[in-house]
Amino acid sequence: MEKVKKVLNAVKSWIVGNGIEGAAGLGVGVGLWIFGLKIWAGVCFGIFIHKNWDLAKSAIKSKL
């Protein structure tokens, strides 16, 4: 049970760190991809990746 709580807290902190733009970008991107709108899905995935890049960049800067 302790591992499940740890994973859920990690997921929650990832969503909070990404903000609504990152989480929505992933969800909408997957939905658009399923419906065959691959160009718009690519735009949504781009927003998602941009938000994750910001998280990774700040994590690396804090380590240095």
Report the distance separating Cα 21 and Cα 15, nearest Å: 10
Six token digits for residue 33: 């991809």
Contact 52, 25 (CB under 8 A): no
> pLDDT tens-digit profile of 13-58?
888 877 777 888 888 999 999 999 999 999 999 988 888 888 888 8
Residue 21: per-residue pLDDT: 79
How much is the pTM? 0.68
Residue 55: per-residue pLDDT: 83
Residue 50: per-residue pLDDT: 87
CA nearest to 26, candidates 37, 39, 12, 42 = 42
